Structure 1
Amino acid sequence: MTAEDQLEQLRDLARLAAHDSVEDTSGLARGEAPVRRDLQLRSQREEAAKLRTQAQEFIDARKAEVDRKKAKLDAQMRAMNPEMEPLLEHVRGLNRAIAARSLYLG
């Protein structure tokens, strides 16, 4: 399952939790409605807590993935640095030459 699929699944669950309404309890005997409503609310709270946990796990996984990719790119940059040093030295020499010429031309 890709990251986009996981994110879409979490969005769907959040939409369901947001639109989940309390059942019509008008036909229940006296005293049963508040109990059923309490049970439904507890169930909805538990589902919301699960969704929050899933969302946080998803975010943490994506952050870890970004950190891994960043570390890999940093290692590649460090590996390229010795290869680039002669080129950078040449650029520094050109900058000194430009500065000297600018000073001479005034």
Structure 2
Amino acid sequence: MSESMEWFGVRSLYHFGVNSKGINVFEERVVLFRAKSFEEAHKKAELEAEDYAKDCDFDLHPEQIAYKQDGDALIDGYEVWSELYEADLTLNDFYRERYEKYTYHPENA
């Protein structure tokens, strides 16, 4: 009996480059894969991430995080990633620390 295929969102982290001030720029990327298991999704994600890093000349962090999609087939408004964090911060402070503190602002050409 064959296992059913499910959707997995897999997050990878890349070193995107260094800006003119010598500050590192990173890319956090979530890609969807259809697979029979977490193991299969990770294998697909590893290959895709390695190709992406090679094509873009990025460094790839070796750890990936996978999230199994729950529910029906992908539809408008379908959740593709969810991760829980804990911190002794207010919601606004957590947002600033996690999402604004290291925001990349492309330099003017």
Normalising by structure 1, we get a TM-score of 0.22
Give the number of the structure whose residues are more often strand, by fraction: 2
Normalising by structure 2, we get a TM-score of 0.21
Give the number of the structure whose residues are more often helix, by fraction: 1
Please tell me whether Structure 1 or Structure 2 has the larger radius of gyration of its CA atoms: 1
